[in-house]
Amino acid sequence: MKEQVSAHRIRAHFAQEMSRMYREEVPQYATLCDLVAEVNASVLALQPTLSTRLSREGQLERIDVERHGAVRVGTPAELRMLGRLFAVMGMHPVGYYDLSIAGIPVHSTAFRPLDDASLAQSPFRVFASLLRLELLADANLRAQASEVLARREIFNADCLALIEQSERDGGLNEPQADDFVRAALETFRWHSEATVDLPTYRRMRDAHPLVADIVCFKGPHINHLTPRTLDIDAVHSRMEEQGLRAKDSIEGPPPRAFPLLLRQTSFLALDEGIRFIADGDEGVEGTHVARFGEIEQRGCALTAKGRALYDRLLAQARRSGQPLAQALRDTFREFPDDAQTLHREGLAFFRYQPAPNPPGRPPSDLTATALVEGGWLRLEPMIYEDFLPVSAAGIFRSNLGEACDQEFSQAGSQLAFEAALGRPLHNELEIYASQSQSSFAAALHQLSDKTAGSQVP
């Protein structure tokens, strides 16, 4: 019997092949990746201390790997099988995102690795959204969309068989893993033929552009991939010179000395030719807007207290009446902008390392803050590995047009999403807290070994 390969290797292979496929389908995305690589190299050359820190934290080798993609499915059955597909690659559902609050008729989760070792081997994750047809006011349109979705099968037979084999055997060997990646990619490939006629597509699009994108095609084409940049402002400012139509603003917190959470922007979605069903063999030519290229810059994960402050300041900036960029700079002056204060006030998550030259063995009753400020432990920010619903909705709106700016009276439900998925979602705050606590315990153990025989000052 051949040896099984790790889920992390399968995930890394899948991400690599997904990137290759998307670059071929969307050449502008390849241009964006080249620009990001150029900016990242420049930042690292100009900031050797940043390069050293990223290397120490295990981040440097992850810079050039696409961090996430996004897909949208139409039914609970599709979502459930999608979860099984991603489980083969060690990707688990983390977090719940209700985008209906921002006029988008979906709710979502992120399939991603959970632990540091898995993230270090491949940080790829997929933001997956489920259509909420119940939010559409037109009952006839809801019924028609349901009928169209019920007729399609987005997973091919080889993919389904290999998912079942992985579940049965606890993994896949190398030839099976290669076959799985090839079969799984077909789920996310672009189809230039619609499954409906043009009038039906237009009715779906008039109801909401995302409804048309999800319902009217053979499968959930990947709608964007996202490289990570070390200077999102520089990349954003240079998109136009590379022939990329840039989104007008960057989503997330303003520029800071100590980066927080997630900042995102994109080039705008492409207007692509589509053939719609019609009587006769030729079909009818039309267009569809869906796919784009995104970039992200990740900062430190926030605690529940920090996230509450972030959400309050973001809402305050949006209500201010000022241009948003200026309002964000003004309101976020209230948010501490250095690691020590963020740690002391319990606003952000950190990992801990023994300080290079600790002042002897520390007393056993000191808190983490006292150990850090007394010079025994060194802080390392925990990179935020998840998403922001307001930012995600902002990216969606920019790439779907004004027609997506709607209001829905019915809020999302995590329980309903979990029922559709067939399993509970992991809580991202609990993951960060557990990893931070484990890091603290390990650092104390290392510090004890390092300072054995030292005198307490």
Q: What mean pLDDT comes out for the span 239-259?
A: 89
Say yes or no to pLDDT of 453 above 50.
no
How, if at all, do strands 224-226 and 68-73 pair? antiparallel
In the prediction, which pLDDT does 179 show? 97
Say yes or no to pLDDT of 457 above 60.
no
- CA 370 centroid distance within chain: 35
Are 190 and 25 in contact, with CB atoms under 8 Å apart?
Answer: yes
DSSP for 212-265, please give it. Answer: HHHHSBSS----EEE-B-S-HHHHHHHTGGGT--B-SS-BSSPP-SS-BSEEEE
By the 10 Å C-beta count (0-12 exposed, 13-18 middle, 19+ buried), 105 is classed as buried
Q: How confident is the model at residue 350 (pLDDT cuts 50, 70, 90)?
A: very high
pLDDT tens digit sequence for 4-23: 999 999 999 999 999 999 99
**What's the whole-number average pLDDT of the chain?**
88
Q: At what angle do helices 76-88 and 414-421 cross, to 10 degrees?
A: 70
Determine which helix (DSSP H) or strand (DSSP E) holds 79, and give its type and residue range.
helix 76-88
Please list the alpha-helical segments (H only) found in 255-388: 304-319, 324-331, 339-344, 368-373
Query: What percentage of the chain exceeds 70 in pLDDT?
Result: 93
Burial 7-43 (b: 16+ CB within 10 A, else e): bbbbbbbbbeebbebbbebbebbebbbebbeebbeeb
pTM score above 0.85: yes
pLDDT tens digit sequence for 292-342: 888 899 999 999 999 999 999 998 998 888 888 899 999 999 999 999 999
Q: What mean pLDDT comes out for the span 250-277?
A: 90
Rounded Cα–Cα distance for residues 269 and 396 (Å): 10
- CA dist 378 → 201, 358, 370, 452 (Å): 57, 10, 11, 18
Q: 4-297+391-425, what's its fold? A: 2,3-Dihydroxybiphenyl 1,2-Dioxygenase; domain 1 (3.10.180)
Shortest CA distance to 367 belongs to which of 444, 457, 433? 444
Q: What mean pLDDT comes out for the span 447-452?
A: 69
Rounded Cα–Cα distance for residues 86 and 112 (Å): 8
Rounded Cα–Cα distance for residues 323 and 240 (Å): 22
Give the CB-side neighbour count of residue 107, counting CA atoms within 13 A. 26
Rounded Cα–Cα distance for residues 10 and 179 (Å): 10
Q: What mean pLDDT comes out for the span 340-357?
A: 94
Q: What mean pLDDT comes out for the span 56-74?
A: 80
Q: At what angle do helices 174-187 and 157-169 cross, to 10 degrees?
A: 140
Q: Is the dihedral of CA 273, 274, 278, 283 positive or negative?
A: positive
Q: How confident is the model at residue 78 (pLDDT cuts 50, 70, 90)?
A: very high
Q: How confident is the model at residue 102 (pLDDT cuts 50, 70, 90)?
A: confident
Helix (H, G, I), strand (E, B) or coil at 276: strand
Q: Report residue 142 as tokens.
A: 């809801």
Which range, 202-211, 241-250, 337-346, 387-396, has the best average confidence (pLDDT)?
A: 337-346
pLDDT tens digit sequence for 216-246: 999 999 988 888 899 999 999 999 888 888 8
Instruction: Spell out the domain ranges in the chain.
Output: 4-297+391-425
Q: What 8-state DSSP symbol labels residue 133? A: G
- CA dist 370 → 212, 306, 350, 432, 445 (Å): 56, 20, 14, 21, 17
Say yes or no to pLDDT of 49 above 90.
no
In the prediction, which pLDDT does 176 show? 96
pLDDT tens digit sequence for 397-427: 666 655 555 555 566 789 999 999 999 999 9
Rounded Cα–Cα distance for residues 87 and 163 (Å): 9
Rounded Cα–Cα distance for residues 385 and 388 (Å): 10
